[in-house]
């Protein structure tokens, strides 16, 4: 009986439990070293003035796919080593032109740069996919511009075109360097969008924040032209350029008289079904969970995964952090898709 149990699929969750216990024990010793390394790196570049701000901006974006940017942020944004850039800015404390330097350069990127990248991706999309790509990219651009929430845009090309994401990280570093060099400062309580920008202009310590808007227009043009040239020159499969991507991305159209909610449910059901097939079918799936933008799935046999099939659902990308672990980048509608997958299972 024991042999039958551990040779069957029911053994997978048990094995996973023991593996996670072992991994937790290892990380108990490894994570402090990793965190302290990032922490020391942050302390080192904090003494480099505007150049340090630029280096911080570059690594802030570069580390986002791993989540390790939070360790770096704690050095500059909070009172971990005494910088406390966010707290001091909103308390109107510190030195004008200096306090806020680790925040200001993000405004030109989030409000202008990334929307410029979205426009480039729209203009380089295939004609038959322009409408679907445009609706997604426009919504994500407005979100970035107003609130500074950039994940929907960044995840639209992070995995499809990693080179563009590297360019994005470099331009972010350049933006923070320029803003810090000229001592143009503003701050945010949530993220570098229009709402926080308007609020921060009322803080006396903000220094020439309107120049960040001028800088933003320049970065809009930079992002647009650089992204457009690279996409065309390297034939990168950004949203709207891959036959397997966005074929099911456009929202389902409710037939005349059909309830809109039902149409949306059908859309999520179709997407979940296509992803389910791409993951090897029901029998190949062990567990399904999700985070902000990604489905997190454990499969029994990763050789059964069909990435093209998954992308045909409109998924933005696929990551495989482990042999039997798959992450499908769905976007902000991930919760609905995950619930539909669970229902189908």
Give catalytic residue positions: 291
Q: Single out the residue of 300, 236, 207 nearest to residue 9, CA to CA.
A: 300
Taking the CB of residue 194, how many other CB atoms lie within 10 A of it?
A: 17
Residue 133 is encoded by which pair of tokens?
């790509």
Residue 168 is encoded by which pair of tokens?
């994005």
Q: What is the CA radius of gyration of the chain?
A: 22
Q: What are the E-state strand segments in the chain?
A: 285-290, 294-299, 317-322, 325-329
205: left (phi over 0), alpha (psi -120 to 50) or beta: alpha
- What are the angstrom distances between the C-alpha of 142 and each of 91, 137, 334? 29, 9, 19
- In angstroms, rounded to a whole number, what is the distance separating the alpha carbons of residues 138 and 66? 26
Non-local CB neighbours of 176 within 8 Å, separated by 6+ positions: 53, 54, 56, 57, 101, 102, 104, 105, 106
Q: Single out the residue of 241, 13, 29 nearest to residue 124, CA to CA.
A: 241
- In angstroms, rounded to a whole number, what is the distance separating the alpha carbons of residues 198 and 302? 49
Q: Which helix (H) or strand (E) holds 334?
A: helix 334-344
Say if strands 285-290 and 294-299 run parallel, antiparallel, or are unpaired. antiparallel
- In angstroms, rounded to a whole number, what is the distance separating the alpha carbons of residues 157 and 237? 8
- In angstroms, rounded to a whole number, what is the distance separating the alpha carbons of residues 12 and 4? 13
């Amino acid at each position: 009986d024991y042999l039958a149990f551990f040779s069957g699929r029911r053994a997978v969750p048990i094995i996973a439990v023991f593996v996670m216990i072992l991994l937790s024990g290892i990380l108990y010793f490894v994570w402090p070293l990793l965190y302290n390394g990032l922490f020391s790196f942050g302390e080192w570049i904090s003494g480099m003035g505007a150049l340090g701000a630029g280096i911080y901006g570059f690594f802030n974006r570069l580390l986002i796919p791993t989540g390790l940017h939070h360790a770096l942020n704690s050095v500059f944004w909070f009172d971990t080593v005494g910088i406390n850039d966010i707290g001091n800015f909103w308390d109107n404390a510190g030195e004008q032109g200096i306090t806020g330097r680790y925040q200001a350069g993000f405004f030109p990127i989030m409000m202008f740069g990334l929307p410029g990248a979205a426009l480039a991706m729209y203009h380089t999309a295939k004609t038959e996919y322009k409408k679907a790509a445009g609706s997604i990219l426009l919504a994500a651009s407005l979100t970035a511009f107003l609130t500074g929430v950039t994940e929907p845009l960044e995840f639209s090309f992070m995995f499809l075109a990693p080179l563009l994401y590297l360019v994005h990280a470099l331009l972010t570093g350049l933006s923070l360097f320029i803003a810090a060099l000229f001592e143009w400062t503003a701050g945010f309580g949530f993220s570098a969008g229009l709402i926080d920008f308007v609020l921060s202009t009322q803080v006396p310590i903000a220094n020439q924040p309107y120049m960040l808007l001028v800088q933003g227009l320049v970065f809009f043009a930079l992002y647009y032209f650089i992204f457009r040239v690279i996409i065309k020159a390297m034939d990168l499969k950004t949203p709207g350029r891959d036959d397997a991507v966005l074929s099911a991305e456009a929202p389902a159209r409710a037939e005349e008289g059909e309830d809109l909610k039902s149409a949306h449910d059908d859309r999520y059901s179709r997407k979940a079904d296509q992803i389910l097939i791409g993951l090897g079918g029901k029998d190949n799936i062990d567990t399904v969970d999700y985070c902000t933008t990604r489905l997190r799935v454990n499969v029994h046999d990763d050789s059964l995964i069909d990435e093209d099939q998954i992308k045909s659902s409109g998924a933005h990308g696929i990551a495989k952090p482990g042999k039997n672990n798959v992450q499908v980048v769905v976007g902000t509608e991930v919760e609905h898709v995950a619930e539909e997958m669970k229902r189908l299972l």
